[in-house]
Amino acid sequence: MAFLGTVGFATGSSMPGQNPILGMAMAAFTREFAAGAVGDFYEQQRELLYQPATDENIREFARRETEFFGTQPWLARNVGGLMSAETRAELLTYSRNAQQAGEQVLRRVFGSTGSE
């Protein structure tokens, strides 16, 4: 069984009035149709994703992700294409900064983050 992409999973899991006989098969089909090859994309980006979250790496990942969504089928392209590479990079940078700030607080309070 293939893993579901996040876009497809969200779409398939929110289908109201699903026919109980076709339920699971229809949901799985809808999820996969909507997700395109999103999971494959992230798997292919492992090398970059395991690198430090520098501004340069974040910009490069955001560029690749934006380009990828432009090549996807209908729903994945439309949902994934809502953000520009610049917006993606800004959100990822904000997330990185928030995580680093949280780790600093934990170090001050507890002397360690537990991930060291």
In a domain, 78, yes or no: yes
In a domain, 113, yes or no: yes
> What's the confidence (pLDDT) of residue 25?
59
In a domain, 22, yes or no: no
In a domain, 71, yes or no: yes
Q: Side chain identity at 81, as an amino acid letter?
A: G
In a domain, 80, yes or no: yes
Domain extent for 56 = 52-116
Check: pTM over 0.75? Answer yes or no.
Answer: no
Q: Two tokens at 103?
A: 């780790």
Q: How many domains does the chain have?
A: 1
In a domain, 56, yes or no: yes
Q: Are 72 and 37 in contact (CB under 8 A)?
A: yes
Any idea which residue has 């380009």 for tokens? 67
pLDDT tens string, the chain, 116 residues long: the values are 333 343 444 444 444 454 454 556 556 655 555 556 778 888 999 999 999 999 999 999 999 999 998 888 777 788 888 889 999 999 999 999 999 999 999 899 988 655 55
In a domain, 19, yes or no: no
Q: Are 65 and 41 in contact (CB under 8 A)?
A: yes
